[in-house]
A and B are shown apart, each in its own frame.
Chain A
């Protein structure tokens, strides 16, 4: 696709959890829990509140189409603030300082006085019904061509367990939100900017790592299209695919619009009740439906079923809208007969709905309320199709396509969080921030300073354990040993299914020191780490591998083995080294350096020969 010709403009919002001791507006730890560890549950209803203008925010109103009831799991690591049963504590200064560090790394200008706001969110993921968020700094730069618009510090939402059940452990973890200008023009550029910002964030050494700790929202538009926000793109490598599929979607929707307009397509005001038509149908969904509503989209034939993204049709968009009313989906004549609906039934349906061959009939089923709500939303989406592309917030589907979530929220959903006092950002606060070394600079330095291969240096710098690497090297342990342990041994173990993630850096450092001073053989590392990961404490893990052999011990063992195989050695000569080495290693593996074993063995064999 020629993105320039299409006028692609893309921006991203990056949400990154900070690794602080305490949450943003309460004193709880920022650790996630297993839901089995919950100690209670509370149940709540949320409702949209009315603004001064007497209107309810469109995104909030959309969420309220279904009056929903939410459950929240509580833990011994959560408090009344997450329950919305206690006013918030002042903003966590540690989180603010990390945010200011990131802002400074991106050459941004801090806001003189920070005001915490409430952003209305009534999908249940915030017990309060809003997310606390504050604009911290504005106007920064990434690379040469891209501007950062803003950095905000906000509360992470509660984690959804099932449809309407949330777990409060994640609620309130500090989250920075970095928003770029719509300054990217190709899918690859979007990925590269996201990767660069991610690197900046990790350079602070103060952000959470691992699944779900960083999320990208991508904003995409093409000329004549609309601004679409696609939420929750977790993998960088998927970004180009998501962008390109969204461009495809907008291109196809614009083509559909043009064709609909050429045909003079029209959409009726409301649907009609056609419940009686399907009383004897073989379609199990329609048969058990309390109410079926249908509507004729004049001039829409072939358009509803046209693919706009891999596996997505205009009908999928209509279906997404209908689902807001609690129905499972829609049927339309572009895809019928199918799903147990026969050709005869389609003919009757067309007749009842007075639909000609140029038209498409859409039907929905559910309770009377659901069905009439759903058909109206389908018609609303059909009208939009004649106008172009609606501005929307969408969610990413696994392969990179996207589905409708809700309208883009307006500014109307923000009002001040009066429970938090405004906060001054002084120039002194900014001046005292010492900027961390960027990971990219770090990688270059590792390669220069320690003579490590560049790719390995980069791997180390970008990894979670880079601080451990630096600490180990600074205590005099050989960089190659540290690198091999952290990025060879640990990785191989994890490939074997041994989870070393829980082993604290301090213990790994301790082990490295012992290898360095010779009290533990480096060959023993895998076995020791394996035992440690299996639940033993460090001393136990070291002991389980057995005591270290001295060279004298080794010589004794080797001499015994060589004597036992004297005939074999005489026969084979020097070539006996390999097979005998295997026998020796079986006895001493992990307890003395392999090189020493080889030397001793060589000497012993020479003695015989």
Chain B
């Protein structure tokens, strides 16, 4: 039997008809006429007739040639999806027609080119995919898109966005967008996030950024700088937060007014260029009380390691010997803090001074994950130890603040 076939089943004494959906472990799932699914022993269902193939004639979509051209790059983030009421399966959509059909208002904002360098759940993203993504974005910029929208799963969106930020010089906005609630829900945040991301891509911005709900309400989206953004909640709509700086812009909804902040990088500030090499052999270690120095052995093959230390940037004294050995073997070690907020400062306490003496590079106020992505990129650009240190401690893309501003 296959999904959609008509079957007879008897959950009670009397038989009833339904549509077969699936079978697992001897239990058949049947959708009753009322719309309810039930699980009944597979042996209790009886085939009646084959399901009809649902041929859908989707309404055609026309794009207005007078509107600005945007490029939507789908990576598997579900910008628009449709639900099969028979099976409950949610299908992701990624052609321009499909996306416009799901969010009709998009057609009033622009015309769209779409491409899909790869499709994956964001937890399965690999650094090599960032290179593909960066090349796709670069091509779209040089092909004249007014702005780029990258749809992406939320789990690793900040990693991918910051990777592109380091790899690209871009005169137009490159806006990452996703949704915390799946697009098949009437309450999904995807419609508002998508519309706001297009408004941001149309605006006077010129950097890589993340566009998501600023609050739990459908009122404002925040545009976060790719190198200062972090997913700070597992499920809330406003999970993404700028850390250490305010969002670079806001977009109001439903009127889609974009208000850039004073420090936003504006459109056309840069000529487009691409530096897409990454050193993937890098890792992130979170120090904790009781961590065995033996763990460091596992990182011997790494060209770069970012440690999230405690407080101002510490590990236990016990680990310092192992860290020194890693560095002597040619691994670059960057110190960040698991406090997330604030700047590391290894000059204050003995432990910090010992770590510095061992060759650990202070990561300033960089977020740990951003430091990791940056390290991959820096190690992809140069082998020179001094240059690596200089670049890691320099503010390249807004990832480092020279001062920790009061009130943030």
Contact = CB atoms under 8 A, between A and B. Distances in A.
Interface in A35-55: 42-54
B88 A128 contact: no
A589 to B, nearest CB: 59
A118 B58 CA distance: 25
Contacts of A42: 215-217
Interface string A101-118: 000000011011111011
B161 interface: no
Interface string B179-222: 01101111110011000000000000000000000011111000
Contacts of B14: 139
A42 B56 CA distance: 37
B34 A411 contact: yes
B88 A415 contact: yes
B330 interface: no
Interface stretch (A79-87, A497-505, A558-566): A79-87
B403 interface: no
Contacts of A115: 29, 36-39
B233 to A, nearest CB: 8
A286 B90 CA distance: 48
B33 A129 contact: no
- Interface of B, secondary structure class, is loop
Contacts of A54: 56-59
Contacts of B12: 108-109, 138-139
Interface stretch (A119-127, A337-345, A548-556): A119-127
Contacts of B39: 111-115, 422
Contacts of B217: 42-44
Query: In the complex, which of the residues A44, A83, A87 has the most CB atoms of chain B within 10 Å of its own CB atom?
Result: A44
A139 B218 contact: no
B56 A53 contact: yes
B185 A85 contact: no
A114 B27 CA distance: 11
Interface in B59-95: 59, 82-86, 88, 90-91
A416 interface: yes
B335 to A, nearest CB: 34
A84 to B, nearest CB: 5
Interface in B1-48: 11-14, 27, 29, 32-41
Contact of B88 (A47, A84, A416): A416
A58 B216 CA distance: 29
A222 interface: no
B186 A130 contact: yes
A418 interface: yes
B40 A50 contact: no
Interface string A334-373: 0000000000000000000000000000000000000000
A47 B180 CA distance: 16
Contacts of A111: 11, 38-40
Contacts of A133: 36
Most buried by B among A80, A86, A130, A415: A415
A319 to B, nearest CB: 28
Contacts of B38: 111-115, 135
A85 B216 contact: yes
Nearest to B187: A129
B311 to A, nearest CB: 30
A450 to B, nearest CB: 40
A183 B14 CA distance: 16
Contacts of A119: 35
**A-B CB proximity, top 7 nearest:** A129-B186, A113-B39, A414-B35, A139-B12, A416-B88, A411-B35, A52-B84
16 contacts: A48-B186, A50-B101, A51-B83, A51-B85, A60-B186, A80-B235, A84-B187, A85-B236, A109-B11, A111-B11, A118-B185, A120-B186, A133-B36, A150-B34, A415-B84, A415-B85
